[in-house]
Amino acid sequence: MHSFVLYQRDDCHLCDQALALLAQARFPEFQSVWIDEDAALEHRYGVRVPVLRRSDGEELDWPFDVQAICRFAQA
C-alpha cells in the first residue's frame, strides 16, 4: 500500500480545492507539505502546486478530479 504527500502553499485557493476533492474521494490519509519555506521544494513545485505524490515517486499534478484521484490511489 502506498503513502501519499500533498505539496501545497499557504493561502492557495487551488490547494483548498484539491483538499475538498480529496475529502470527496474519501482519499486515504496523506501528509501535507507546505513548500513556501523550502527553496528546493519551491523550485520543484512552485508553479505546479497542488501536487499529490505517491510513495513510488509518481505524481499527480493539478488540475485533477475525483476520478483521477481514485485511479491514482489504486495504481
- pLDDT tens digits, residue range 10-55? 999 999 999 999 999 999 899 999 999 999 999 999 999 999 999 9
Strand order in the sheet with 51-54: 31-34, 4-8, 51-54, 59-61
Architecture of domain 4-74: 3-Layer(aba) Sandwich (3.40)
51 in Cβ contact with 45 (< 8 Å): yes
67 in Cβ contact with 58 (< 8 Å): no
Cell of 9: 502553499
49 in Cβ contact with 35 (< 8 Å): yes
The predicted model scores a pTM of: 0.94
Domain boundaries, the chain: 4-74
**64 pLDDT exceeds 90?**
yes
